[in-house]
């Protein structure tokens, strides 16, 4: 016998094949077109045509035109950086395109008078469809007839309890049938269904805002205003330095003039910083992946460092969604506990027990109980709020205490007070009552609770709290991150769970019913300051809570697992989904805890802080080069001297004093909390060092030709001067590195010494020396080099020391005002 033949006979014949074909032709099927707001072309265009790539590419072309390919090696960073950006965003696009709240599966619909299986996308408007236990509702519908259908709507509403559905009730796509079944008529399909509407709002592409990238882009934009005019002026000044335009063109000296100009331009662009930022995000993401944490947008790693407000969904985050049996408490000291527990087992042992029933069965099974005698049964109904069995000698009933007590003779106020106390502790409390007589004749057709039944025991169940919840919340408190629990469940119950996990430490958590929240965002922001737990929260309210916290200047992270969390996760600065979350929720979250362990969050935040703190060091290192390159270029233009060094010099020096050390520093352990003002601190660090380097190199270029009797119009003498300046620049680069890497203890000090030694060793290797146009100074050149190094170190110490004194005075002034 087929499955459809076992179904109750229904007069409905369903749609005809012709009607189905017409509806599909008119686009009224359950198929949803899935696409993100960014096409492949948009992604490639956004990553290729950037300000950074434009400047570097133009500079590379200029150098290649001169034929000096050795001075154009800096251009490879374009390919690497662009590739990382495109691959990352394509991965995000694929994730967003797969976004779907609904599980794709086949459903039983009635067509032409027969029940047939059709795919999810083939369901059409007006279809008569069966919804059976275990199935996810694929489209919005209205119930034609129900056989005890109960739905889990937690993915939509956030409430963990099941909801009983009757004839003419509306049901929505995304909910799941827990028990029973129903015949329904489809009322909305495809993009018009409730789940698809939520999906459409969640799928809008939103790029994670990176404070680090914003700072770097600010530097790049500022440098653009300098680069273009300075590049023109540098070419003009270099042409004059080789005898003017006519002489430069006729003798071919224009090539050296262009290379010199590019040396200034490339030095001003922190190209390694852009690349290293992308790489550092990627490495952090890979490290987190080893701890079952998936980072879906690399920039979100940095956002982790700035989070100061964490909104937690109760189910799936604080609790694991499961229910556990705590204990059975007899109300009479002489009661037969074994008989009570046996009855409790049989009461829960329905065909498809709900979550509470499953918890009771699991708990009693561990104690050795198994199915007993049941002569008659009334299954649990959320409308009645109780279930009942007759075991041949007595009728046992289990259900909601307040409902059962109201239908029994006697005064049970003491029992209700006890129930209330247990409920405030976060327990789900059920009452067991017993009636010694036989089941009435109409027991199954018209079930009712015998008024002579007497309470015999209370059953205490609770949501299973994750073992790591309390320690994780304690870590966040110590780190200054304000945590709130936001749930669709009863605020009293959620407040009790918050108390158990010590959400607010020693202080009692303050809870509130979300139905009392103001709709005005500004008023909501004020209310939230005094609330730790929100219950009965609707999906749009979760989003409004995030918006209100933003209004107060908070950086908000949000955890969730249901569709009801999707909009809030999208609105938050950082969306964190559990691994067992709905597909839609995982797809829009920037971070997914694959194994759903809340305890991974401290690792996630710590990794973000490491990235931000280390990248601040690295940015300071790179920006020193930007400052001195700009100042040297300006000095060259104003004094009409040859540019002090070649692009390949800056490639060699930058690689050993900035590039490779920066990569090491970026990956080093660092637990410093994020402090606002990233760009200001970087600039404050870079200015004194950059000024000192620029002044030293310009002095060397101005004074050495006279001291050494060099003629800079002579190619050999100019090469000597540039090679000597490269040595001075390398020494100062090591000093800047030492300043950034402080404290110089352990591996940090060894790193600085190692790169200083590698730089000196490179000069001694003939191939390296020739490729990078370096020299080993001897005789009078060595003496001049040592003098210029001494002068440069003195200038550096004076500039850095002056900056430190000024900073201390400024800080002291602020303290006095306070």
Q: DSSP letter at 573?
A: S
Beta bridge partners of 124: 29
Task: Please report, to the nearest 10 degrees, the dihedral formed by the alpha carbons of residues 23, 26, 28, 32 taken in order.
Answer: 140
Pairing of strands 395-399, 170-171: unpaired
Nearest by Cα to 523 from 547, 505, 540, 502: 547
Sign of the Cα torsion 228, 229, 231, 232 reads positive
Q: Are 752 and 737 in contact (CB under 8 A)?
A: yes
Q: What letter would DSSP give residue 657?
A: I
Nearest-angstrom CA–CA distance, 245 and 392: 113
* Distance (Å, whole) CA 453 – CA 451: 5
Angle, vertex CA 52, rays to CA 46 and CA 58, nearest 5: 110
Which residues partner with 328 through β-bridges?
Answer: 459
Look up residue 87 and give its two tokens.
Answer: 């691959």
Question: Does a cis peptide bond (omega within 30 degrees of 0) precede residue 743?
Answer: yes
640 class by beta-carbon count within 10 Å (0-12 exposed, 13-18 middle, 19+ buried): exposed
Q: How crowded is residue 283: how many other Cβ atoms within 10 Å of its Cβ?
A: 17
What positions carry a catalytic annotation? 313
- Sign of the C-alpha dihedral computed for residues 287, 291, 295 and 299 taken in this order: negative
Q: CB-side exposure of 262: number of CA atoms within 13 Å? A: 31
Closest CA to 724 of 771, 786, 651: 786
Angle at 237 between CA 231 and CA 242, to 5 degrees: 125
Q: What is the CA radius of gyration of the chain?
A: 36
Two tokens, residue 494 = 């959620």
* Segment (H or E) for 141: strand 140-152
Bridge partner list, 162:
152
Spatial separation of the C-alpha atoms in residues 691 and 61, rounded to whole Å? 30
Q: CA distances (Å), 323 to each of 3, 357, 401, 428, 630, in order?
A: 32, 9, 19, 9, 65
**What does the CA dihedral 752, 755, 760, 765 come to, rounded to 10 degrees?**
170
Q: Quick check: helix, strand or coil at residue 204?
A: coil
Read off the DSSP letter of residue 391. Answer: -
Number of H helices and E strands in the chain, helices first, is 29, 21
Residue 272 in contact with residue 651, Cβ under 8 Å?
no
CB 601 within 8 A of CB 586: no
DSSP secondary structure letter of residue 806? H
Query: Rounded distance, CA 361 to CA 587, Å?
Result: 35
What residues form DSSP beta bridges with 435? Answer: 395
Query: How far does Cα 93 stand from its chain's mean position?
Result: 16
b/e per residue, 686-719, with b = 16+ CB within 10 A? Answer: bbbbbbbbbbbbbbbbeebbeeeebebeeeebbe
Residue 326: count other Cβ atoms within 10 Å of its Cβ. 17
Phi then psi dihedrals of residue 447, to 5 deg: -65, 140
Helix, strand, coil shares of the chain as percentages rounded to 5?
55, 15, 30
């Amino acid at each position: 016998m087929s499955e459809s033949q076992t179904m109750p006979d229904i007069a409905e014949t369903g749609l005809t094949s012709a009607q189905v074909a017409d509806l599909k032709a008119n686009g009224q099927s359950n198929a949803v077109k899935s696409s993100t707001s960014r096409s492949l072309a948009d992604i490639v265009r956004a990553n290729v045509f950037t300000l950074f790539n434009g400047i570097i590419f133009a500079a590379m072309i200029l150098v290649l035109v001169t034929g000096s390919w050795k001075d154009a090696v800096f251009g490879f960073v374009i390919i690497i950086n662009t590739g990382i950006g495109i691959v990352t965003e394509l991965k995000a696009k694929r994730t967003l395109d797969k976004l779907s709240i609904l599980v794709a599966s086949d459903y039983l619909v009635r067509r032409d008078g027969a029940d047939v299986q059709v795919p999810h996308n083939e369901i059409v408007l007006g279809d008569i469809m069966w919804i059976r236990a275990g199935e996810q509702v694929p489209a919005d519908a209205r119930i034609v007839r129900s056989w005890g259908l109960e739905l889990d709507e937690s993915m939509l509403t956030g409430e963990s309890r099941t909801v009983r559905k009757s004839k003419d009730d509306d049901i929505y796509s995304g909910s799941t049938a827990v028990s029973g079944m129903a015949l329904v008529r489809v009322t909305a399909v495809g993009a018009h269904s409730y789940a698809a509407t939520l999906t459409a709002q969640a799928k809008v592409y939103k790029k994670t805002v990176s404070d680090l990238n914003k700072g770097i882009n600010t530097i790049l934009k500022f440098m653009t205003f300098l680069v273009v005019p300075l590049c023109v002026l540098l070419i003009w000044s270099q042409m004059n330095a080789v005898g003017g335009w006519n002489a430069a063109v006729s003798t071919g000296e224009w090539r050296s003039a262009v290379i010199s100009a590019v040396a200034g331009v490339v030095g001003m662009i922190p190209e390694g910083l852009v690349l290293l930022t992308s790489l550092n995000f990627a490495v952090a993401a890979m490290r987190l992946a080893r701890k079952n944490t998936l980072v879906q947008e690399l920039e979100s790693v940095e956002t982790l460092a700035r989070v100061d407000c964490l909104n937690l969904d109760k189910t799936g985050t604080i609790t694991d969604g499961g229910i556990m049996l705590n204990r059975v408490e007899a109300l009479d000291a002489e009661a037969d506990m074994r008989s009570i527990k046996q009855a409790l087992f049989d009461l829960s042992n329905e065909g498809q027990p709900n979550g509470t029933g499953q918890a009771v069965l699991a708990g009693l099974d561990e104690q050795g109980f198994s199915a007993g005698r049941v002569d008659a049964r009334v299954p649990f109904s959320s409308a009645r709020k109780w279930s009942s069995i007759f075991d041949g000698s007595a009728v046992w009933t289990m259900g909601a205490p307040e409902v059962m007590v109201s239908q029994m003779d006697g005064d049970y106020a003491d029992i209700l007070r006890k129930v209330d106390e247990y409920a405030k502790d976060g327990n789900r409390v059920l009452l067991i009552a017993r009636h010694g007589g036989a089941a009435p004749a109409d027991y199954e057709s018209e079930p009712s609770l015998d008024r002579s039944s007497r309470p015999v025991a209370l059953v205490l169940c609770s949501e299973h709290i994750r073992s790591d919840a309390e320690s994780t919340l304690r870590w966040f408190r110590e780190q200054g991150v304000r945590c709130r629990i936001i749930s669709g469940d009863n605020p009293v119950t959620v407040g009790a769970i918050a108390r158990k996990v010590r959400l607010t430490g020693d202080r009692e958590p303050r809870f509130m019913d979300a139905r009392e929240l103001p709709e005005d965002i500004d008023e909501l922001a004020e209310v939230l300051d005094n609330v730790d737990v929100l219950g009965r929260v609707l999906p749009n309210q979760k989003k409004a809570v995030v918006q209100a916290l933003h209004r107060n200047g908070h950086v908000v992270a949000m955890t969730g697992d249901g569709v009801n969390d999707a909009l809030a996760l999208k609105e938050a600065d950082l969306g964190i989904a559990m691994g067992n979350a709905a597909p839609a929720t995982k797809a829009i979250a920037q971070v997914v805890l694959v194994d759903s362990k809340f305890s991974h969050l401290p690792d996630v935040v710590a990794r973000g802080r490491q990235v931000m703190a280390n990248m601040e060091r690295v940015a300071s290192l790179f920006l020193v080069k930007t400052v001195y390159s700009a100042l040297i270029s300006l000095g060259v233009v104003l004094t009409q001297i040859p540019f002090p060094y070649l692009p390949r010099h800056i490639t060699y020096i930058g690689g050993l004093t900035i590039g490779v050390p920066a990569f090491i520093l970026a990956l080093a352990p660092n637990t410093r909390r994020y402090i606002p003002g990233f760009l200001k601190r970087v600039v404050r660090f870079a200015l004194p060092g950059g000024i000192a380097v620029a002044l030293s190199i310009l002095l060397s270029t101005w004074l050495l030709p006279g001291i050494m009797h060099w003629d800079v119009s002579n190619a050999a003498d100019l090469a000597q001067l540039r090679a000597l300046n490269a040595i001075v620049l390398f020494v100062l680069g090591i000093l800047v590195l030492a300043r950034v890497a402080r404290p110089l203890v352990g591996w940090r000090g060894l790193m600085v010494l190692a790169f200083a030694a590698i730089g000196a060793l490179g000069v001694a290797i003939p191939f390296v020396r020739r490729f990078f146009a370096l020299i080993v100074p001897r005789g009078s050149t060595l003496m001049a080099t040592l003098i210029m190094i001494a002068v440069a170190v003195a200038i550096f110490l004076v500039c850095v020391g002056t900056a430190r004194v000024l900073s201390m005075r400024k800080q002291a002034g602020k303290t006095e005002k306070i």
